[in-house]
Amino acid sequence: MVLVGELSLWIALLMGVWAVTLSFAGGYLKREDLIVSGERGLYATTGFVVLASLGLWTALLTSDFSVRYVASFTSANLPIVYKFSAFWGGQAGSMLFWCLVLAGYAAAATFTNRSKNRALMPWVTGTNAAVLLFFVMATTIASNPFERLEWIPPDGRGLNPQLQNPAMAIHPPLLYLGYVATAIPFGFAIAALVTRRLDAEWLGAVRKWSIISWVFLTLGILLGMWWAYVELGWGGYWMWDPVENASLLPWLTGTAFLHSIMIQEKRGMLRKWNVILVVGTFLLSILGTFITRSGIIQSVHSFAQSNIGMWFAVFMVLMLAVTAWLVSIRLRDLEAKAELEAMISREAAFLYNNLVLVGIAFSVLWGTLFPILSEAVRGSKITVGESFFNAVNVPLGLLLLALTGIGPLIAWRRASVQNIQRQFAGPAFFGVVAAAVLWVLGARELYPLMAWGLGAFVAGTIIQEFYKGTLARMRMHGENIFTALVNLVTRNRRRYGGYIVHAGIVILFSAFAGMAFRQEYDVTLREGESFTTKDPFGKEWTFTSDGISQFKALNRDVVTVALMPVMEGKAFPVLTSEKRQHFDTRGNPTFQPSTEVGILQMQRQDVYLVLAGTIGDRAEIRINFNPLVVWVWHGGILMALGGLIVMWPQSERKRQGGYVTELAPQHAETAGV
């Protein structure tokens, strides 16, 4: 099967060349036979990439240590789920995984457009196949997962313990699904530029793919945060690590695009800007992989470093040059079809929203790359850490939060004073009262107070929209509150799905603000000794050590400490933290010891326990009180749920029905609704 996999990869390379050549030739010569042949070439490439992937999975699951990749990233005693996820645990495998996802997406995009967007499709298929060809080529030539060893070792090296976590089995694929989905809109953008069909046609095809990418990136980033929180043990979920930043960049520009696309759809404006955002999002996705794979910047993700960075650098420069050239020759076609009529309008609010999102993306990119720039200019290395990113991005984030409330409620074209008063008086009052109450309760830090005040304002705008819409349906259709609410969302998924995403943002920002009040304690305890302190809410906690224990598990030695937490007389379940030393089947240690943190999760805060190490019978531990952390996960899941609602297919009949019902209820019966 390994041989089949390797051969499949080479055949996929040849089929990719076929798909690119025939698709572009078919598009240029306007010959349907070539176009169809190019599409079939893409399907064939996809098939062979799937076969190659099955080959690698077979090698991993059967522990075929003659394959270097299998020997490097698995061991015979590795749990089967991690043998499966080792596919993307190393660089060569994750490159093949990227090929697999991209091939699947490209085939799906070609298949779903087999009877529409026909003028665009040869160029879309050609571009997608070209991107796929690059990845297949890089995988086959520079990073082949089927490379053999000259001798067969008795056991493999094992998977990095930090990757032996359920989140790590899911986080990279989700992130890749998000990254790779940006390639499809890129293909449509190139096709639209080449064919000069720059109206709404390509946007309609692109929107859904952009939301798919956005949802997967959101979930991937969220799971990455969760993994960092439970696995790395530093007590937080976001460190502004270069690879974390790399995943955030396409998310930010993708979010900007999902807002600006509305302006082009409604008003025919921002045509150049939307092309730039689509291309930029794709290139930032490639940059993310480049940063992860090249080792150009120091990162906790250094387990995936390799020599493939050069390939990505060349590819990025090439794509950038091609796109810049295409945009430059199509500038006239990209002129806006309408004018912006007033400064106080939804269009303007969305423009400022785009500015802030892209501004945050720039500052994150700048902070990530500044050490390289500084070294090049001054010759000395520097570190750009959390304090820099927080100083720059927190104010921008608060501005974005405010625009999250303002944008959706302000009128299109021109907002009147009455409109502003009607829409914003209630939410603004709600926000001010919330901030005042929190001030009285003792929250005196400026940024958290602003986050919660603005969060309350945005929450007010969302509640107001749902309230008005539900009430209108109850009045017009005699529906009960539940039915009215469900129908309100299902009849206009984009609008109300968007509000649900915004509700998730509010929860997320409020939870981020909670971390400003985190507390941490560095203590040493023997068995029976206690440590007493107060949490950020003023509650007294006592932690009593139950001692240190040692045991052997499937593929690791474990040292664990157990604490019994009691809050003002109320006992909680025993909290444990572990140090693990993994070993191979011969008992030899593999990798450095890893930490498993203990977390007592509550709605208001997490109690977070880290065993740093042991000295004799004493355990050196860190105890953190991390306020509102659970709301980060709630908010993130709500955002993804809102994204799913937005992208869920809605039949034209139902959309029409909902529209007619809202506009002319008296004619609903005759309209068959």
Partner 1 sequence: MLTRREWFVAAAGAGAVLTSRVLSGQGQPTFTPMDQSAYRPVLREPKPGAQPSMTPLERDQLERTLKCQCTCILDVYTCRTTDFTCSVSPAMHRDVMRLVEGGYTAQEIKDAFVATYGEVALTAPVKQGFNWAGYFAPAVVMTTGGIILTMMIKRWTARAAANAPAMAAGSASGAAVVPRIDASADEMARLEKALREEDFE
Residue closer to partner 1 (CB basis): 11 or 420: 420
Tokens 């969060």 map to which residue?
455
For residues 412-471, which are near partner 1 according to CB under 8 A? 412, 414
CB of 562 to partner 1, least distance (A): 18
- Residue 594: its H or E element: strand 594-596
Kindly state whether residue 233 participates in binding partner 1, applying the rule CB under 8 A: yes
For residues 350-369, which are near partner 1 according to CB under 8 A? 351-352, 355-356, 358-359, 362-363, 366-367
Which part of the chain contacts partner 1 (CB under 8 A), choosing from 50-58, 120-128, 628-636, 661-669? Answer: 661-669
Which part of the chain contacts partner 1 (CB under 8 A), choosing from 217-225, 437-445, 549-557, 609-617? Answer: 609-617
Q: State the burial class of residue 621 (Cβ atoms within 10 Å of its Cβ: 0-12, 13-18, 19+).
A: buried
Q: Residue 547: helix, strand or coil by DSSP?
A: strand
For residues 567-586, which are near partner 1 according to CB under 8 A? 579
Q: Which of 100, 223, 409, 503 is in the footprint of partner 1 by CB under 8 A?
A: 409
- Written as six digits, the tokens of 301 are 């993700």
Q: Which of 70, 610, 632, 638 is in the footprint of partner 1 by CB under 8 A?
A: 610
Instruction: Judge whether 345 and 200 are in contact, CB under 8 Å.
Output: no
CB of 357 to partner 1, least distance (A): 11
CB of 393 to partner 1, least distance (A): 8
| Count helices and strands in the chain by DSSP H and E runs | 20, 10
Instruction: Judge whether 221 and 247 are in contact, CB under 8 Å.
Output: yes
- Written as six digits, the tokens of 534 are 């107060």
Residue closer to partner 1 (CB basis): 119 or 320: 320
- What percent helix, strand, coil does the chain show, rounded to 5? 65, 10, 25
What lies within 8 Å, CB to CB, of 607 at 6+ separation is 535, 541, 565, 572, 575, 599, 600, 623, 624, 625
Q: How many CA atoms lie within 13 A of 97 on its CB side?
A: 22
Residue closer to partner 1 (CB basis): 34 or 619: 619
Residue closer to partner 1 (CB basis): 104 or 593: 593
Kindly state whether residue 142 participates in binding partner 1, applying the rule CB under 8 A: no
Q: Which of 152, 200, 314, 437 is in the footprint of partner 1 by CB under 8 A?
A: 314
The DSSP bridge pattern shows strands 540-553 and 570-571 to be: unpaired
The DSSP bridge pattern shows strands 618-627 and 605-615 to be: antiparallel
Q: Which of 232, 279, 505, 525 is in the footprint of partner 1 by CB under 8 A?
A: 232
Which part of the chain contacts partner 1 (CB under 8 A), choosing from 103-111, 212-220, 487-495, 528-536? Answer: 487-495
Which part of the chain contacts partner 1 (CB under 8 A), choosing from 28-36, 195-203, 372-380, 440-448? Answer: 372-380
- Written as six digits, the tokens of 622 are 């860190």
Q: Which of 10, 43, 84, 370 is in the footprint of partner 1 by CB under 8 A?
A: 370
Number of residues that bind partner 1 (CB under 8 A): 96
CB of 307 to partner 1, least distance (A): 5
Spatial CA neighbour of 627 closest among 502, 551, 519:
519
The CA distance from 91 to 168, in Å, is 15
Q: Which of 377, 417, 440, 441 is in the footprint of partner 1 by CB under 8 A?
A: 377
Tokens 């008005």 map to which residue?
468
User: Furthest-apart CA pair in the chain: how many Å?
Assistant: 84
Which part of the chain contacts partner 1 (CB under 8 A), choosing from 249-257, 274-282, 448-456, 613-621? Answer: 613-621
Kindly state whether residue 317 participates in binding partner 1, applying the rule CB under 8 A: yes
- What number of residues does the chain have? 673
Tokens 């107001």 map to which residue?
464
Kindly state whether residue 606 participates in binding partner 1, applying the rule CB under 8 A: no
Kindly state whether residue 29 participates in binding partner 1, applying the rule CB under 8 A: no
Which part of the chain contacts partner 1 (CB under 8 A), choosing from 44-52, 120-128, 547-555, 662-670? Answer: 662-670
Q: Which of 80, 150, 151, 376 is in the footprint of partner 1 by CB under 8 A?
A: 376
The CA distance from 276 to 261, in Å, is 12
Q: State the burial class of residue 567 (Cβ atoms within 10 Å of its Cβ: 0-12, 13-18, 19+).
A: middle
For residues 62-101, which are near partner 1 according to CB under 8 A? 72, 90-91
Q: Residue 292: helix, strand or coil by DSSP?
A: helix
For residues 275-294, which are near partner 1 according to CB under 8 A? 294
CB of 303 to partner 1, least distance (A): 5
For residues 551-570, which are near partner 1 according to CB under 8 A? none
Q: Which of 80, 150, 387, 528 is in the footprint of partner 1 by CB under 8 A?
A: 387
Kindly state whether residue 335 participates in binding partner 1, applying the rule CB under 8 A: no
